[in-house]
Structure 1
Amino acid sequence: MKKAIIIVGSIFLLVLVSLVALPFLFKDKIIARIDKEIANSINAQVYYDLDQISLSVFKRFPNISATVGQFGIVGNEPFQADTLIHLDELQVDFNLRSVLFGDIPSLTGIHLNGGSLYVKVLEDGRANYDITYPSEEVTEPSNFQMEIDLIEVNNFDLVYDDRSLDFLMVLAQIQASGKGDFTADVYDLPLEMQALVGEMVYEGTNYLSNKNFKGSTTLQVDMGNMKFSFAEGEFGLNDFLFGLEGFIAMPTDDIEFDLTFAGKDNTFKSILSLVPGMYKERFADLKTSGTMDFNGKFKGIYNDASFPSFDIALLVKDGMFQYPDLPRPVSDVNVDLRVKNETNNLENTSVNIPVFNLKFGNNPISGKFLLGNLVSYPMEGNLKGKLDLDELTSIFPVEGMTVRGILDVNAEAKGSYDSSNQTMPAISANLNLSNGFVKNAEYPTALEALQVKALVSNPSGRMPDFVVDLSQFGFQLENEQIDGRLKITDFDAMNWDGAVKGTIDLGKMLAIFPIENTTMSGKIAADIQTKGSYKDVEAAQYNKLDTRGNMSVSNFAYTSADLPQGIKINNAKADFTPERINLTQFDSQVGQSPLQASGFLSNYLNYLLQENQTLKGQLNLNSSRFNVNEWMTESSSSDTAALTVIELPTNIDFSMSVSAAEVIYDNLNLRDVKGNMTLREGVLRFSEASMSALGGRIVMNGSYDPRDVTAPKFDFGLNLVNLSIPQAFQSLNTVKAFAPVAQHLTGNFNTNLNFSGKLGQDMMPILSSIFANGLVKVSEASLQNSNLVQGITSLTKLNDTNTLQLKDLNIPIDIQNGILEVKPFNVKLWDYQANIQGSTGFDGSINYLINMQVPAGKFGAQANALLASISGTQANENTMIPVALNLGGTYASPKVGLAGGNSIETLLANSLKSRVSSETANIQQQVTEQFKATEDSIKRELKLKADMVQDSLQKEAEKKLNVTKDKAVEEGKKLIRGLLNPKPPAKPDTTKKN
């Protein structure tokens, strides 16, 4: 018996050891199989770390589980900056036998543990999840067989950003699981899921924010008909529970819905959990009572021409809630709401609220509302109530704020809105706020005597009889009073008559109503009256408009998260007339830069009251020192922040004269800056703008055009007088790229240069886009310690010094497609006459030809020996030898050689034997023709490279056009991080890519 136990135990141990060892024995084969399938299936960058791959047969025996740490997929262009998916851990289950011995591996399970998925769809429909190869491009088809019966997701985040639909959804901390026979055409899939709904935004409207979602149901999947049916299940948002039954089908491009939903076991407290700001830590302690019923249906076809019918109803009876530790409740809450549409046309939607009432403490509010459709908007409703604002702080928790006053509202409306027939509902609405008082506990002064009296009236329903009369508006803050009024009559003509007078201390207002990350101080005093008609604005009859008065600003200071540099206005005064606003005084400091201004603005009423109108003006701007860099960086506190494209408004037409003692731009220090500028249709133009810089004087005329922010353009005519060559090299990237020899030159230069091209997103010229032509004049310069000179002297032995003195140079240059072409010019190299031509590429490459005439005797002993051996010739030590040198490589690492690959000895022998000067000319002509042929080939290659660089930069810049939506996505991601405060993910190891 003992022997049998030992045998059985040994066999069990052998099996156990085999199971443990099996994954390791076949690990390479399994990884190779995974590699192969990824390569054949996914057209994207896949990263994972080989050292974080493990295999086990115990996690889902008898399947084998492959676990990969830090797995991710990064999309191809134009999504190369977006990580489609990143997983802290990915577990994939396989049928072991199919991997080791079969031709078709069987995938049986997927487990996602930690990570995120970012789905992005562009306006044109391109999506970053489209990463599979088109069937005709697959070199070797994948032969995975799907036998999945389990999908698990743990602690996962999802951002769905569909810009073609203007839809954004952010889900966080997703927990989900589903089990079923995924290989069948029709199968049941039990599903469980919970997540935090960070945001759900459609066409700019946020429908859900910071809600906890949970759901449990059985989903019947019919893949043949693309039909997904929900069995009875339970779903919830916060404490609001509901059931959902029916199906969604997508057999064609249309989507068919047949869904019914209803609340389950809900109370009035359940619906309160969806109210923003109420579902907090102490929500469980909220005292409530009352009942709630919710149900609805959604049925029909959704496509471009049809919308499903729907019927949604909400009923609240005898609702009450009271915050713990506060003495008064909100009670007698009764709401009957029904939103209904029995057709497939969304415009036939009706909204009916026959009952709406509640009581804030002792103050009742009641009303009703009926909207017949979204075509003629027939409506009938009323709202009536009185609020004692002092009681609100005893109902709602308002920390650090005291509020008092009586708010009285009485409004009713009945009729239809039809702009074509000039009709609108008959309206009678009164709003009165008396004895208003607001005080922040952290500030000793209160906003007092707050009064608002408003009337909206239209007894006939005709647009000419429409009246909005804000007959009184005012408040007092530490003995400083603001009073105003505004009356609007005739909804068609939009006549207005208003005034505002008084002084407001912005610092005190901000102390009472604080704004996060914002500081503000200063006083604004105004006395303005305005009267006119919008019809006169449309007809450009500005003489009929009467706006006049004055406004002044003193000791104003403002900073915010978006404007960390800050703005200060010491004093500013403006007078208003119907024609213009005259800026009589403006003394300010923008960031670190003092700025004074005067001038006027015209067409301002048209600009304010109508779309697509242009604000015109003439300004004189003066500054003792203006730092442009402050306004071109993302953050003034970051020394390494990159310059960004400055966009210009297209609806501004300004003429400006500018004078500045000093301007800081990038690494340039510009002094005595003067000139005229015009900003019109989004283009900034310069006229006779002059400045002292780089040791000389710069005068320019031209334009900066950022209307296409992905490829802003510049076009300048430059007159550069007596500029320092070393300073130009140190300060100008263009000089560094196209004239690297300048780093070893001393002296000054002059030029008239036409200079145009595109700017990158860092506001620096894109070298490959530059077009320029001009004549560079150098009266005297010295070239020292240059690798080029060293290369020439070491090759020719003509001179042993590494210094060249240059005089009276006139160098014609032309830049096209990122290539600086230097047309032939004459120069004296040491004591020898030379002619130089060639080009420098934007990539740093050089290609030059130097044709020199050197007396034979200057070549020393080797020339003398050859002269002695050639008897009977006219050759002597004064015979001119044509020397042609090729300069290639880069300036930092030049390649210097004799044209044609000759040696000095061969060059001398051929030249001396020629004896005839005409043959000498032929030699140089042949060399020059060979050089030009080679240069043409180099130029073609550089142009292709330049086009590729510009195309790449253009595509990079296009991403910035979506910056607003990208920011919304980032805010959603930030919301996830802020709400959940997870540990930062480990940086992925990209040592393995497929």
Structure 2
Amino acid sequence: MKKALKIFGIIILIIIALLIAIPFAFQSQITEIVKRYINQNLNAKVEFSDVGLSFIKSFPQARVSVSDLTITNFEPFKDETLATAKNIAFTMPIKELFKKADEEPIVVSSFKIDEALLTLKTDKFGNTNYDIVKSDSSETETSTEESASFSFSIEDYSIKNSALTYLDEASNMLIHLSEFNHSGNGTFSAETSEIDTKSETNISFTMDSINYLQNNAVTLDAVIGLDLEKNIYTFKDNIGFINKLPIEFDGSVQLLENGQQIDITFENPQASFKDFLAVMPKAYTENLDDIVTTGNFNVKGIVKGLSSDETIPNLDINITSNNASFKYPNLPKRVEQISINTSIKNTTGNVDDTYVDIKQLNFKIDEDVFKSSATLKNITKNMLVNAHIDGTLNLANISKVYPIEFDKTLSGILKGNINTSFDMNAVETNAYERIKSNGSVSISDFIFSSEDVINPIHISTANMSFSPETVSLNNFKAKTGESDINATGKITNLLGFLLSNNTLKGNFDINSNLFKVSDFMTEDESVSKENETTKEESLKIPAFLDCTINAKANTVVYDNLNLKEVSGTLVIKDQKATLKNVTSSLFDGSLAIIGNVSTQNKVPTFDVNLGIDGFDIAQSFNNMELLQNLAPVAKLFQGKLNSTINISGNLDDEFSPELSTVSGMALAELLTTKVNANKGELFNALESSLNFIDFDKLDLNDVKTQLEFANGGVNVKPFELKYEDIAITVSGSHKFDQTLSYNAVFNVPAKYLGSEVNRLIGQINSEETNNISIPVTANIGGSYTSPTVKTDLQSAVSNLTKQLVEIEKQKLVNTGKDKVKDLLGGILGNQNTKNTDSINETATEKTDSTKTIKDEIKNVLGGLLSKKKKDTNN
């Protein structure tokens, strides 16, 4: 007995070893079979990472698996991925492995597909990316047999965790199935049989930019009868769900060479209005049983006819509801008197003849009644819309009757009576002659918020009347942030803005008491570095605006400026605001502006011309950063300023100029100006170095200068100042960081150099000394708050000494003709005279006189350099 058990155990181990080892022997054959089948049958590039064979996982059958399958198209969809699958597995009897793939078919009994992604596409020329099966007009009997290398005797199959997308560019249709799971079991080999299937997925459906379904859950449990001889598949004992709406199917689908012959009817079996709510997204139907409803809801449909490349089945789908109501348990209000009568029909089989007829869509909330009807034709191409809306809707009640959450409060009373007809192409291309609308709409106490505006807009009242070409804004009163607006005007493409994401075009006249520019800007978000998401807000001109605004405002706030009595024209287009003939009162003067501000790029820019007339210098330079940086010293003045400034550059996130980027030029004129009592560090430094100047008496009237600025700095062209009879020439440059590099040249008469110099001049006592002056240059550096002043006063006094010596020479020369000749002879050394004593005497007198003058000048210079206050009246 023990020996028998031992032998049995050895046999079992041998069998297990064979089951593990045999797949390696057949590995190359399996790979060869898969590659041969692909090459013989598919016109596409197919790649996979591995082909495996196992006798263990599906014993007593063999299991063949393909891992990481990718199918890539050839032209005209070159390099586009048609399908991927993480794993595909087939099971088959072990004996099938011993068949030759080119001699007899291999029978597959089951298959499983995991995590497949399939993208089906039809381009605008009618080409399909899924037509990849090879076909050849010269196909022989042998090739036909090879193309049938597999046959199926399937008992069960499954597709798990997969997704499918179908895109038709010609009709602009998109169908997307996500979280797709499907399984079936039965027998495919018999001529007639049944399979039991289970399917579930989330479906989204969009056509011509209109989203009809958004991630709606669909399930279907169905027994499908198979007639393989006639290729007929019949629905039996089935029920499906769209979200929680139950639908029963009856009918069949027959596969033909040119398409499918469909004959299906469906309806919802319960006929309760609760079924309608079940179509809504899952988030709002989780507690469907708790919702109180009355009335019925019927969905019935017939789909019958040939589905092919040229035709679709005829459609007759009807949705009706009469006098229904619903109320959510935790919400305060009820929707009642609901009437729905809608049909979807096609009687020709031509897809373009499909139309939707909404005969009635009515409801009532409190005392507000809303009625509407519409027809939608040619829905697969250029959809034609004819609609009528008449009713009142309190927007605040939407969240009180339906569990929808808004980012911000939505409120307001909407009243309308409108008839409109148009085609979508006309809306998108602004073909106003094909857009016919008439009626009126009014809004009161409406609050609108969007990511396109930084503050909610509260519209207290708005009245619009519709005509075929335009919408007239008869009255509009609104407030956003701290700004108020009263407006009238015309809008030329309201439907394009509402239905097709077009820009909002119009012309408006706007009046405002207070208008803050920052209240109308949007917030722009960007992603920071190193994968960390942060919110960087920058102001943006809304991209949806294309309008001309003639505006008047009592006060406009821009940055820290309060502009009064503002008027002008603002043109907004393509995220660019152009200012035309804008005037305002500012700093006790007036300001004129033309130019533009653009937020088209990531960094906003500006390019404007400013005309300044009669600005109060103290106010303007203390409150306007731009002027402070162009001429920081000017804020020490009192008086008036006239100027023209041409300036351009970048704006920061607060819409203020980035000083390092600005460039341009300015012409400035100072009127009736004087220096403030508090002279500041610069003038104090100058007075310390030049004690003959009293800057309180500086004449600044009618001073004109020209400035050029770029690269964070200002260059000042030479301009003239006066201090009594001292002419001053100033030029140089400074940076916006207030570092200074200036030269001030003072043309100083000699009499300002003190009493000693005046006595010296008195000794000379000649007309030449009356006009003696010396240039004194002050080099100004450092910064505006910590200036440095260096002068050439010492060298200037030395030059004065030379002038006085020269005058004294001329005075001695003029004492007599002979003395002049003798003096010249002695100086030049090229003449000998007989009157040597006279020459010596003259030379001695000259030397003594020169020495006296030099001594006097040294005394003067010493007094100046010791910075003692001199009496400038001598």
Normalising by the residue count of structure 2, what TM-score does the alignment of the two structures yield? 0.59
Q: Distance in 2 between matches of 1:646 and 1:573?
A: 28
Kindly provide the CA deviation profile for residues 21-54 of structure 1, in whole angstroms up to 9, marking residues without a partner as x: xxxxxxxxxxxxxxxxxxxxxxxxxxxxxxxxxx
**Alignment pair present for 1:790 and 2:684:** yes
Structure 1 partner of 2:649: 757
Structure 1 partner of 2:481: 591
Structure 2 partner of 1:726: 618
- Assess if the C-alpha contact under 8 Å between 1:318 and 1:332 holds in 2: no
Q: Distance in 2 between matches of 1:383 and 1:906?
A: 110
Structure 1 partner of 2:627: 735
- Assess if the C-alpha contact under 8 Å between 1:363 and 1:385 holds in 2: yes
1:366, distance to aligned residue in structure 2 (A): 4.3
1:468-867 matches, cutoff 5 A: 468-491=356-379, 492=381, 494-513=383-402, 514-534=404-424, 542-543=432-433, 545-558=435-448, 565-605=455-495, 615-632=504-521, 644-649=538-543, 652-708=545-601, 710-779=602-671, 780-783=673-676, 784-799=678-693, 804=698, 806-829=700-723, 832-860=726-754
* Structure 1 residues 567 and 364: CA distance shift in structure 2, 3 A: same
1:328-407 matches, cutoff 5 A: 334=221, 357-358=239-240, 365-366=248-249, 384-387=267-270, 388-390=272-274, 396-398=286-288, 401-407=291-297
Kindly provide the CA deviation profile for residues 602-635 of structure 1, in whole angstroms up to 9, marking residues without a partner as x: 2445666667x66532211111122333344869
Kindly provide the CA deviation profile for residues 450-504 of structure 1, in whole angstroms up to 9, marking residues without a partner as x: 2222111112222452221111101011132111111123445533322010111
Q: Distance in 2 between matches of 1:537 and 1:361?
A: 36
Q: Distance in 1 between matches of 2:65 and 2:626?
A: 66
Q: Distance in 2 between matches of 1:478 and 1:781?
A: 73
Q: How many residues align?
A: 605
Q: Distance in 1 between matches of 2:261 and 2:769?
A: 111
* Structure 1 residues 905 and 455: CA distance shift in structure 2, 3 A: same
* Structure 1 residues 455 and 893: CA distance shift in structure 2, 3 A: same
Structure 1 residue matching 2:398: 3-state secondary structure: helix
Q: Distance in 2 between matches of 1:361 and 1:557?
A: 34
* Structure 1 residues 502 and 482: CA distance shift in structure 2, 3 A: same
Report the AA paired with residue 476 of structure 1.
Answer: K
* Structure 1 residues 365 and 874: CA distance shift in structure 2, 3 A: farther
**Residue from 165, 182, 195 that aligns with 1:314:** 182
**Residue from 884, 904, 907 that aligns with 2:796:** 907
* Structure 1 residues 843 and 369: CA distance shift in structure 2, 3 A: farther
- Assess if the C-alpha contact under 8 Å between 1:400 and 1:442 holds in 2: no
Q: Distance in 2 between matches of 1:335 and 1:744?
A: 91
1:698, distance to aligned residue in structure 2 (A): 0.9
Report the AA paired with residue 581 of structure 2.
Answer: E
Kindly provide the CA deviation profile for residues 290-329 of structure 1, in whole angstroms up to 9, marking residues without a partner as x: xx9745699xxxxxxxxxxxx98622779899xxxxxxxx
Q: Distance in 2 between matches of 1:686 and 1:792?
A: 43
* Structure 1 residues 312 and 774: CA distance shift in structure 2, 3 A: closer
Q: Distance in 1 between matches of 2:650 and 2:443?
A: 40
- Structure 2 unaligned spans of 5+: 1-47, 55-63, 71-78, 91-113, 115-155, 163-178, 185-195, 201-216, 225-233, 279-283, 525-534, 807-874
Q: Distance in 1 between matches of 2:632 and 2:245?
A: 83
Structure 1 residue matching 2:268: 3-state secondary structure: strand
Kindly provide the CA deviation profile for residues 590-612 of structure 1, in whole angstroms up to 9, marking residues without a partner as x: 2332211111112445666667x
1:46-61 matches, cutoff 5 A: none
- Assess if the C-alpha contact under 8 Å between 2:453 and 2:542 holds in 1: no
Structure 1 residue matching 2:781: 3-state secondary structure: strand
* Structure 1 residues 869 and 261: CA distance shift in structure 2, 3 A: farther
- Assess if the C-alpha contact under 8 Å between 1:852 and 1:882 holds in 2: yes
Report the AA paired with residue 646 of structure 2.
Answer: N
Q: Distance in 1 between matches of 2:51 and 2:788?
A: 74
Structure 1 residue matching 2:410: 3-state secondary structure: strand
* Structure 1 residues 499 and 313: CA distance shift in structure 2, 3 A: closer
- Assess if the C-alpha contact under 8 Å between 1:262 and 1:295 holds in 2: no
- Assess if the C-alpha contact under 8 Å between 2:382 and 2:423 holds in 1: yes
1:797, distance to aligned residue in structure 2 (A): 2.5
Kindly provide the CA deviation profile for residues 733-756 of structure 1, in whole angstroms up to 9, marking residues without a partner as x: 212222221332222211122222
Point out which structure has higher relative CO (alpha carbons under 8 A, 6+ apart): 1
Q: Distance in 1 between matches of 2:512 and 2:768?
A: 71
**Larger deviation, residues 406-415 vs 514-523:** 406-415
- Structure 1 unaligned spans of 5+: 1-225, 233-242, 264-270, 272-291, 299-310, 322-329, 338-351, 636-640, 918-994
Q: Distance in 2 between matches of 1:313 and 1:786?
A: 82
Structure 1 partner of 2:783: 890
* Structure 1 residues 358 and 648: CA distance shift in structure 2, 3 A: closer
Structure 2 residue matching 1:806: 3-state secondary structure: coil
Structure 2 partner of 1:437: 325
Kindly provide the CA deviation profile for residues 650-670 of structure 1, in whole angstroms up to 9, marking residues without a partner as x: x64422210111122221111
* Structure 1 residues 838 and 485: CA distance shift in structure 2, 3 A: same
Q: Distance in 2 between matches of 1:416 and 1:782?
A: 92
Q: In terms of Rg, which structure is larger? A: 2
Report the AA paired with residue 481 of structure 1.
Answer: V
Kindly provide the CA deviation profile for residues 878-911 of structure 1, in whole angstroms up to 9, marking residues without a partner as x: 521111122222212222223xxx4x32331035
**Residue from 260, 281, 287 that aligns with 2:87:** 260
- Assess if the C-alpha contact under 8 Å between 2:368 and 2:391 holds in 1: yes
Kindly provide the CA deviation profile for residues 661-701 of structure 1, in whole angstroms up to 9, marking residues without a partner as x: 11222211111111122224443222211111222211112
Q: Distance in 1 between matches of 2:574 and 2:374?
A: 34
**Alignment pair present for 1:448 and 2:341:** no
1:958-973 matches, cutoff 5 A: none
Kindly provide the CA deviation profile for residues 936-974 of structure 1, in whole angstroms up to 9, marking residues without a partner as x: xxxxxxxxxxxxxxxxxxxxxxxxxxxxxxxxxxxxxxx
Percentage of matched positions with identical amino acids: 23
* Structure 1 residues 228 and 808: CA distance shift in structure 2, 3 A: farther
* Structure 1 residues 835 and 361: CA distance shift in structure 2, 3 A: closer
Structure 2 partner of 1:178: none
- Assess if the C-alpha contact under 8 Å between 1:481 and 1:503 holds in 2: yes
